[in-house]
Amino acid sequence: MAERFRPRADTRPSGDALGTDFEYGFGRWLVRSEWIRSRFQLPIGSGSAADTTLTASSGFVEGRVQILPRWSFGMRGERLTFSDVTGTLRGGVPTPWDAPVSRAEATLGFRLSRRVDVRGGWQQNWRSAGRVHNRGFPAVAALFWF
């Protein structure tokens, strides 16, 4: 009879995160960036006493320029990466627990009124694994300031 998975008594996942952000505006320009690193310790029922530690890092840089009083143009670049895990597949060779993703976006914005902006553009995504490695999407947003 196959042994069923039995979680250890201390099966609560734990983790921590570290992040920073930056914003600077000058004249018609606005520049923003952010970086976050998360670490999780998960009790995986592998029979070992040690928890499996997974990490993920994410960051972006974006810039926006006011072209005319009502028109703006913005660009953004992002990256999401994951740590490696070692398991029983592939002879115990460390492999990423998910595929890293890179993303770029460009938008054109129009201010309808003092409190309403609309933006439209294109977002392109790249991923090194999975069925789809490269895909783009239209990006549309409406911002209501209150």
12-21, 108-117, 126-135: segment of lowest average pLDDT: 12-21
Q: Tell which wins on pLDDT, 92 or 129.
A: 129
pTM for this model (two decimals)? 0.74
- Of 81, 44, 84, nearest to 60 by C-alpha is 81
- Of 62, 64, 60, nearest to 108 by C-alpha is 64
What mean pLDDT comes out for the span 61-90? 90
pLDDT in tens, 17-61: 999 999 999 999 999 999 999 998 776 655 454 567 888 999 999
The residue ranges of every structural domain in the chain are 14-43+52-86+101-144
| Four-residue CA torsion sign, 97, 77, 111, 137 | negative
The domain defined by 14-43+52-86+101-144 folds into: Porin (2.40.160)
Residue 43 has what pLDDT?
Answer: 66
Q: State residue 89 phi and psi, 5-degree precision.
A: -75, 155
- H-run or E-run covering 141: strand 134-144
